[in-house]
Structure 1
Amino acid sequence: MSQPSNPDRDSDLNFSDLTPGELSFGAVYFDGLTSRDRPAQVQVSGQTLLVRSEGLEASYPVGGVSVEPPLARLRRVLKLPGGARLETDDRRAIAALERRLGRNAGLSLVQRLESRWWVALASLLGVLAFTFLFIQDGLPALAGVAAQITPPAVMATLDSQTVQAIDSQYLKPSSVSPARQAQLRQEFAALALERGGPYRFRLLFREGGDLVGANAFALPGGTVFVTDELLTLAKNDREILGVLAHEVGHVQHRHAMRQIYQGLGLTLMFSVVAGDVTSAASVAAAVPAFLLSSGYSRQAETQADNDAGQWLMKRYGTTRPLQDILKRLTLQDGPEVGSRVMDLLASHPGEQARLTHLQAIEAAGGK
């Protein structure tokens, strides 16, 4: 009786000795009723698969035989009608049977590729390259799309939760008088109404302290913080409104939402875009630190500056208010610019590039 082939090599059977259309190979037979295994000889001729073993000779229709896909260097498995099975290390014979039956063509190719070290190395390098490109280009692109389709209600919930976290950890109550706050809120409301959009714009005043300093920043849903220190630094309301117009630009282009998606990952992206308000609330604790410690891209800052410059030209006929306060911020921070959390200049285009851009808007008459 023929024994199963050696698991470390293919069958020594010379296929040219077989009748055309005939296959023969050694295997281990399991009857499906007990755990006993028996060596067997298998012959495939025409549409019949014949199994001969100790005290057994059984035939099965080839069409009723299931060939399990290859898995690494494990034995190939044939499932026979009635629950019996065959296991064999003769990969060449099973490959020939698969070709005849038209089964597992793609998976057999995968198994052959897996057995070659250079293919595995190339695959690893390919995965690493894809991961790098996805992080560099793919994730920002996905974040941009997700930011644009995020429901306003989700952003409003995120704003509400984030304000609570910011007030408890980062900022202090403002010392600006209620009358002054009311005046600036009225001017900001007119600005926001003019700019439009499905956002619940509101202006909050806080003391920045050493951590935040003279600053203003926007949350995704339209909540804009301005610090007492920035109000003190500004020479007039036009400068303050220039900064607020810049922050409104960030909201309208959903820059903060895009930054959150890029920083906090795909899971948040899919859950929030789907309208899962609970997910939005659950990540709110992580959002303040992220928003306050990460600057926008140069493209985002230029876009917000452009919006603010266009608004200033329309309202006052000049971009000087924003230029002036940016210069003053630079002089105040000096070489340490960027050390404060979410500074108006941190991670932004250089001061001169921003001023040149604002001057170009003015030279073009706001067009």
Structure 2
Amino acid sequence: MTTPTPTPTPTSQSLAAPFAQGVEGVYFDGRSSRDRAATLRVLGSGDLSSGAPLAVLRVAPTDGEPGSEQQWPLRQVQFDPPLAGVRRVVKLPDGGRFETNDDRAITALEAAVGRNRGLRGVRRLESDWGLTLGAVVTLGLFVWGFLTYGLPAMARSAAAATPRSVLTSFDTSAIEVLDNGTFMGPTHLSAARQAQLQREFKDVAQWAGGGYPYRLLLRDGTPQANGDKDSPAPSGSIGTNAFALPGGTVVMTEQLVKLAHSDRELMGVLAHETGHVTHRHSLSSIYQGLGLTLLTTAVTGDLIGASTFAAAVPTWLLKNGYSRQSETQSDEVAGRFLMERYGTTKPLRDVLARLETEDENADENSVKRDDPGAFLQTHPGTAERIRHLREIEQNWPQRRGK
């Protein structure tokens, strides 16, 4: 609406002088993309935040179109937040917009009428390199703290809250993936040898407790394609290994059985794996590694989602293993079992050395020290684990009552 030009009155002392005199810019009517030169100023007196002053827009004439002047109560005018390198935008009640490069004048008007107060603080932060650098460092520390402490804590909580029925589903789906011939194949151990190991594992499972439906699966860790002995094992085969799934299923390969010098060594390995089950290391490690989106599975008990999720379980466990804390905690479990059953942790120390050196004649003395960069690794080195197991044995009288 075009109105007569109001008689200027003294402007508020809180308003910057440039705006009282008029700020140059361009006007868009909201109906076309054509811009027209325009001037915006404020007329009125008293407190600008009261809404009494008027915003007056004067649009310059162009070829074929006369000039015009419009005015609105200042309280009806909106200000877009500032963006670096972009003209300031004033939104008008009629759907049009006024744009100007005079950031100082718009900022002064915003301050006078009390608009975008919170954003002014953000803008000061963006324009101050010291504060910006500090904010980046603070954000980096937050992200580091979340990944180092927050996410693991959330993963452990989610693992603890996961229903047993979901754990069973994880195990079932994971074994289906593992038994596809890529990771492992049927064992060639004799029925008598398998029965012997199952009886001995039953004792370990009863000792471990926790109410889990433990079961031991014996498999060939280097299966040949189509049973052809002359064909190489698949690249993804698990080899000489043992690992636990979240629901209490423990897989041990016949290659590990053959590497061991005694069943005491094997039971030490299996006791270590039950430690991963009872402390839910497998599940928390997978939750942490695969991300926050999968944590909802623990809360919802979504068996469809659990089945899909379980397909990632074997690959994650075999590729990434456990954290230092988890391995140390499970070695504590295995150490207690070995001390209570045999009075020594040497069986596990020896078989760990053979797994490390891939030498069937190695023992704990074959691993002298860890790689110099081992302290940077997420998993404890074998030498460190052997030292820990020795300490358990040496301090057993004090540890036994705990």
**Is the TM value for this pair above 0.5?**
yes
Answering whether residue 116 of structure 2 is matched by residue 110 of structure 1, we say: no
Partner of 1:220: 246
Unpaired runs of 5+ residues, structure 2, are 1-9, 46-51, 61-66, 223-232, 360-366, 371-378
Unpaired runs of 5+ residues, structure 1, are 1-16, 339-344
Answering whether residue 43 of structure 2 is matched by residue 20 of structure 1, we say: no
Q: Which residue among 159, 166, 170 is the counterpart of 2:183? A: 170
TM-score, normalised via structure 2 length: 0.72
Alpha-carbon offset, residue 224 of structure 1 = 0.2
Give the Cα–Cα distance (whole angstroms) in 1 for the partners of residues 193 and 218 of structure 2. 10
Partner of 1:53: 59
SS in structure 2 opposite 1:350?
helix
Deviations 1:321-340 (A, max 9, x none): x42243144257537789xx
Select between 182-191 and 40-49 the one with higher mean Cα deviation.
Answer: 182-191
Partner of 2:75: 63
Alpha-carbon offset, residue 84 of structure 1 = 2.6
Alpha-carbon offset, residue 114 of structure 1 = 2.8
TM-score, normalised via structure 1 length: 0.78
Partner of 1:253: 279
Q: Which residue among 189, 196, 205 is the counterpart of 1:192? A: 205
Deviations 1:15-46 (A, max 9, x none): xx955255432332333344443333222224
Give the Cα–Cα distance (whole angstroms) in 2 for the partners of residues 346 and 76 of structure 1. 57
Q: Partner amino acid for 1:32?
A: G
Partner of 2:388: 354
8 Å contact 2:335–2:389 — kept in the other structure? no
Answering whether residue 78 of structure 2 is matched by residue 72 of structure 1, we say: no
8 Å contact 1:76–1:89 — kept in the other structure? yes
Alpha-carbon offset, residue 186 of structure 1 = 4.5
Give the Cα–Cα distance (whole angstroms) in 1 for the partners of residues 314 and 120 of structure 2. 51
Q: Tell me the percent identity.
A: 43
Closer/same/farther in 2, CA of residues 186 and 58 from structure 1, 3 Å limit: same
8 Å contact 1:323–1:358 — kept in the other structure? no
Q: Partner amino acid for 1:304?
A: S
Deviations 1:155-183 (A, max 9, x none): 32222222122222122211233354345
Give the Cα–Cα distance (whole angstroms) in 1 for the partners of residues 346 and 398 of structure 2. 16
Closer/same/farther in 2, CA of residues 190 and 329 from structure 1, 3 Å limit: closer
Give the Cα–Cα distance (whole angstroms) in 2 for the partners of residues 160 and 241 of structure 1. 24
Number of equivalences: 342
Partner of 1:31: 29
Q: Partner amino acid for 1:360?
A: Q
8 Å contact 2:353–2:382 — kept in the other structure? no
Partner of 2:226: none
Alpha-carbon offset, residue 206 of structure 1 = 0.9
Partner of 1:146: 158
Partner of 2:48: none
Closer/same/farther in 2, CA of residues 331 and 185 from structure 1, 3 Å limit: closer
Q: Which residue among 66, 74, 97 is the counterpart of 1:85? A: 97
Deviations 1:89-112 (A, max 9, x none): 222222222223322122223234
Give the Cα–Cα distance (whole angstroms) in 2 for the partners of residues 34 and 229 of structure 1. 77
Select between 36-45 and 273-282 the one with higher mean Cα deviation.
Answer: 273-282
Deviations 1:297-331 (A, max 9, x none): 332222112223334445x3x442x4224314425
Q: Which residue among 269, 274, 291 is the counterpart of 2:295? A: 269
Select between 216-225 and 141-150 the one with higher mean Cα deviation.
Answer: 141-150
Alpha-carbon offset, residue 52 of structure 1 = 2.5
Give the Cα–Cα distance (whole angstroms) in 1 for the partners of residues 130 and 355 of structure 2. 58
Q: Partner amino acid for 2:84?
A: A
Q: Partner amino acid for 1:324?
A: P
